[in-house]
A and B are shown apart, each in its own frame.
Chain A
Amino acid sequence: MAEEQHFGDRGQDRGQDKDNIRKQGSARGRKVKGRENDSREFTDREDERSMEELHRAAMEKEEKIPEEGNERGPWWMYVIVIGTLAFGFFYMGRYLGEISDQPHVLFTRPAPPDVEEVDLDLMAEGRRVYTRLCQSCHQQDGAGVQGAFPPLGGSEWVIGNPERPVYIVLQGFQGEIIREGVTYNAVMPGFGRLLSDEEVASVVTYIRNSFGNEAPDVLPEEAAEMREASDGRTSPWTEPELQEFIDQ
């Protein structure tokens, strides 16, 4: 303790009355003194105490290493501690799986033995395929992009003979076409390798019955037949080639 007090003295204003400070050991005396000397007041503070007073208080406790009390803590803290331990061990026991190098034990289900047959909703499935693959060019409303991607709404090719849209979906399309005075010239890739017969039938049914169109559904069996008929062709169709193929 002796050292602390010695250190506390060092922080005092030695330039002024040294003896006076030694005699007036009380904090009260120092406080008054600090206030008198305006140049020492640190004005940029919210509370009343002078900075010097704060510093002196700080200096006095500076020497000490912080102490620790011996409180027990509130009861709910122990509830949380025990509850957390319980949950942690429960979780480990429940989801540990087997000690092996297999990933996702417990989290992958084997295929159910009886596969339930679900009716294929051509429009719903077609909408999903359209959103995934077609929408970025032909747009959400099927209006296409002027000069690049022709509109699907009101298109004769879409609502007419179903073979045309199916072949275009399967193998793609390229070359110039003119619709209502606008020239379109872009390449559409074929999606035959990506889509199953059900998906081809769905998406064609979807565009034949959306955007104001109305035309009979295309069934998966029909799509399968057309896929077989056009088997072997890999490059996108051009307008004359497609016409010729359908006429055969």
Chain B
Amino acid sequence: MNSGSSKPSQFSVSELDQKARYVVLFLVLSGVFWLLFGTLLALVASLKMHLPDWLGTAGWLTFGRVRPLHLNTMVYGWASLTGAGVALWLLSRLLKVPIMLRGYIIVAGMVWNIALLIGSIQILAGHSRGIEWLEFPVSTMVLIVLCVIIMSASVLMMLVMRKVKQLYVSVWYLIAAFLWFPLLGLVSSLPIFDTPTVQAGMNWWYAHNALGLWFTPVGLAAAYYFIPKVLGRPIYSYGLSLLGFWGLALFYNWNGFHHLIGGPVPTWFVTISISASVMMVIPVVVVAVNHHMTVVGSFRAVINSPTLRFVVFAAMSYTFVSLQGAMQALRSANEVIHFTHFVVAHAHIGMYAFVTMMLFGACYYIIPRITMREWHSKGLIKWHFWLTAIGIFIYTVALQGIGVFQGFAMINPDVPFTDTVTMTIPYLVARSVSGLLMTAGHLIFAWLVFRMTWRPDEQPATPLVWNKIREEFAS
């Protein structure tokens, strides 16, 4: 920082934000489109759980196609595209260099969107790969991975040309994520997993790592950036940051096979995975302490800052979902709750209450800075937060509550299977209600982003701080 002003090549953050503008906006807006599309699919799938005959006549609207497409559009559309945009912006600011290969990344983003579109049509037409989290045909997956590789190249160029000496903790996570995800995507696309047990092993290695080694690092990097940034105080401990990062890097990769408990795979294979899943408690507790001790005493800011409100909610959800995950990996717990709605809710706490809420928070910080415009309404942001937060809360309580009872009923040989299904119906209705709340939240978010990017003439009169910078750049 001290030598910063003496170098003429140093960029100010507003210059960096200006260069990031089109790349990040394109990725985020694409993500918001897929968020809305995925939300629609989610609602249809959720309603079908308690209205099984609804829309049941057309093949392409059956549950077996709508639900996988919901997962895939949310994961590879919303969370990956927006996450990549957020990650590139964070790296640009933290390394103090503009995003590299901007034109290539925009082209890659277009290809990515087209790949998603083709993949979506393929799944609806019944050409799913039939592997959870990898339902998109291999062609779509390979295209997406190639697009990520272009971004990874950009990220590595930024790292080499960085204008800072020390790498902040967010940078470690982001660089790692851009190296891990292409590897995951490429390996999972190789045509070498043709025996069923090996394919199942690959499936859960991939699916769990996509969450833990792609979305989690991006989410944690955002938390590590925005919490100290908005509060204006340093992160509690560098040492804990280090421990948290290497803990994730060491233990996460083994986690996926706890999904295969009871499956025809060797015992040692599953046992190692369960041990590693439990060991994930270490980085999770360390990161939670690090974040909590940074925020503690400043909870007022959490109420006032829209970004922090989402980010802190997401960080707390990360702690909760990870500790829960470590517990439910144990054989004794897994025996009860696996194959019930409990696990469905667990996955949604991870991808929604953690990753999605974190991305919302990041968007609320980033978009005003790259567009130099203001959010249209603070009230609507508040509505967005409460609708989505209450929505995912109801979702979790309803499905995890009944999931435990469903699990005990399913392992009881005296209970007919039909009873284990009918007992969940009221809770599935509650899930649809919570889905409606979250949908309303997403519509508000999309409207706010729309107002900001498409209707520049009708900006709120105040505050104008960012417009001033724009005028200065124009002159």
Contact = CB atoms under 8 A, between A and B. Distances in A.
Contact of A51 (B5, B94, B463): B463
A13 interface: yes
A64 B233 CA distance: 11
A1 B225 CA distance: 20
A2 B2 CA distance: 9
B285 to A, nearest CB: 5
Contact of A97 (B96, B263, B267): B267
B286 A77 contact: yes
Interface in B258-312: 262-268, 271-272, 274-276, 278-279, 281-282, 285-286, 289-290, 293, 300, 303-304
Nearest to A104: B267
Interface in B93-121: 93-94, 96
B227 to A, nearest CB: 8
Interface string B433-473: 00000000000000000000000000011111110110010
B13 A84 contact: no
Contacts of B164: 65
Question: How big is chain A's contact interface, by range?
Answer: 35 or more
A99 B236 contact: no
Nearest to B377: A44
Give chain B's interface residue range (CB within 8 Å of chain A). Answer: 35 or more
Interface stretch (A86-94, A160-168, A212-220): A86-94
A20 interface: no
Contacts of A58: 230
B191 interface: no
Contact of A64 (B1, B5, B264): B1
A35 interface: no
A98 B268 contact: yes
A39 interface: yes
A80 B284 CA distance: 11
B462 to A, nearest CB: 5
A195 interface: no
Given A88-B276, A91-B271, A99-B268, A68 B241 contact: yes
Contacts of A59: 465
Interface in A1-24: 1-3, 7, 10-14
13 contacts: A1-B2, A10-B472, A42-B462, A42-B463, A46-B304, A59-B465, A61-B232, A70-B237, A73-B289, A81-B282, A88-B275, A96-B272, A128-B414
A235 interface: no
Contacts of B279: 84-85, 88
A116 interface: no
Given A84-B279, A98-B268, A132-B416, 20 more contacts: A2-B5, A3-B4, A3-B10, A3-B12, A56-B465, A63-B1, A63-B13, A66-B229, A67-B228, A68-B168, A68-B236, A69-B238, A70-B238, A73-B240, A73-B290, A80-B282, A81-B243, A88-B276, A97-B271, A100-B266
